[in-house]
Amino acid sequence: MSHPKTTPTRRRFLQQTGGVAAATTLLTAAGASAVHAQDDGVIQVALVGCGGRGTGAAMQALSVKNGPTKLVAMADAFQDRLNISYRSLSTQKLKQVDVPDDRKFVGFDAYKKAIDCLRPGDVVIFATPPAFRWLHFTYAIEKGVNVFMEKPVTIDGPTSKRMFELAKKADAKNLKVGVGLMCRHCKARNALADRIHDGQLGDILTLRAYRMAGPTGSAATGKPPKGMSDLEWQIRRFHAFLWASGGAVSDFLIHNIDEGCWAKGEWPIKAIASGGRHYRAGKVDQNFDTYSIEFTFADGTKLLVDGRTIPGCKNDFATYVHGTKGGAIFSTAGHVPARSRIYKGQNFEEKDLVWSYPDREPNPYQVEWDDLINAIKDDQKYSEVERGVKSSLVTSMGRMAAHTGQEITYDAILNCDHEFAPELAKLSFDGPPPVQPDGEGNYPVPMPGLVVDYEYEA
């Protein structure tokens, strides 16, 4: 069983996770300094991590209704990715992109140089592989800049503890921090969550979540091309390596897991899971192709999560809630639109429809940015870090259960001493990567039942 301190009451959980309104309560902490928009009204943005998601986040930052915003610096480990991102952003947002060559930075220390281009109260976007989140966040706090960080924000116990402490430091400086669990900003999901928490489904019996698709991201990866180092390959194909991203579970299933916890109004206390690899010829990544996770909440309620990245199979990408008074579809087929609705039965038949979200759903990727910029301009308290860490940690709990074949509790994952990349701050392209291949170019993979204390044997 989880230690009482790690099992919040439903009331406390709802206070922590009750959507945007709770996240934007006026700051009352004594002694906190104001860190908000500059006197000229322009919020400057730096992008750290110029891949697809980072470019998308920057586009949303430049598309807020409550600007003006301006991109002034960019950073990435690789020049080619920065160049592609810059071309895309400058083409679509020409008047808001002011990034000359001397504010384009490449390398492991590029994040510091990009942040140094900002003023206190501006915003930095962190969209690098998740392993780097705590390191970059530390420097942003030191420099007094607001943060938007992509999910997951942690991938193991040691970094989760570190991020919990960093969240306190950011709060003490009155920094505004958004986390890219954008579904929390979805109007339809919020409306349904309120109805569930008001008891319209009765007692929650079971929750189900699915992300079952073909190959996704860089989860299934072969050996690096000739002439490329293992470290560069691992960062470029970060979904494939546990140290960089937490793998397919942490990067892909976190949204559905977070939705289930949100609907229930609690964090689960333990997990059991299974999974396996299929059709793996030539693939050297550390992922399973299928994951089936059973999360258990303190009252015994189950959240069942299934993930699959195998072509040619039935696809599903949705979250369902079953209660004593009826059932609900929390999200329908991906992230947008949710099409959230309630039924009087458990079969989700049209004739049994009780309620559906009545309005057009704005894109939650954009809404999360509108909310963050509002908080900065109005100097409202805004921190999604603690919730983001808990969601990331619970997701890692399910992943570790699958990779070890053991029951893993919240306490166990939080206090597990296996940090995937303990020398992260010292990484260099001239040095060794956090995980190294064997003589045939294969990386260590999870072996449930054989390696049970850690997720793989180095």
The reply to whether 100 falls in a domain is yes
Do 236 and 303 sit in the same domain of this protein? yes
Do 256 and 405 sit in the same domain of this protein? yes
User: What pLDDT score was predicted for residue 9?
Assistant: 42
Do 47 and 170 sit in the same domain of this protein? yes
352 near 344, Cβ under 8 Å? yes
CA 367 – CA 90 distance, rounded (Å): 22
User: What pLDDT score was predicted for residue 281?
Assistant: 81
User: What pLDDT score was predicted for residue 280?
Assistant: 75
Tokens of 147: 């943060």
The reply to whether 81 falls in a domain is yes
Cα atoms in the 13 Å half-sphere on the side-chain side of 419: 13
Residue-wise pLDDT tens digits, 415-454? 999 999 999 999 999 999 999 999 999 999 999 999 999 9
Q: CA geometry: angle at 72 spanning 67 and 75, to 5°?
A: 125
User: What pLDDT score was predicted for residue 37?
Assistant: 54
Number of domains into which the chain is organized: 2
pLDDT in tens, the chain (458 residues): 333 333 344 444 444 444 433 333 333 333 344 455 566 789 999 999 999 999 999 999 999 999 999 999 999 999 999 999 999 999 999 999 999 999 999 999 999 999 999 999 999 999 999 999 999 999 999 999 999 999 999 999 999 999 999 999 999 999 999 999 999 999 999 999 999 999 999 999 999 999 999 989 999 999 999 999 999 999 999 999 999 999 999 999 999 999 999 999 999 999 999 999 987 788 999 999 999 999 999 999 999 999 999 999 999 999 999 999 999 999 998 899 999 999 999 999 999 999 999 999 999 999 999 999 999 999 999 999 999 999 999 999 999 999 999 999 999 999 999 999 999 999 999 999 999 999 999 999 999 999 999 999 87
User: What pLDDT score was predicted for residue 11?
Assistant: 40
State yes or no: cis peptide before 437, omega within 30 of 0: no
Give pTM, 2 decimals.
0.91
Helix (H) or strand (E) holding 83: helix 79-92
Domain residues for the domain of 293 are 186-361+394-415
Do 122 and 247 sit in the same domain of this protein? no
Tokens of 114: 């990009």
Pairing of strands 316-323, 177-179: unpaired
Do 102 and 126 sit in the same domain of this protein? yes
CATH of the domain at 255: 3.30.360.10
Helix (H) or strand (E) holding 179: strand 177-179
CA 458 – CA 455 distance, rounded (Å): 9
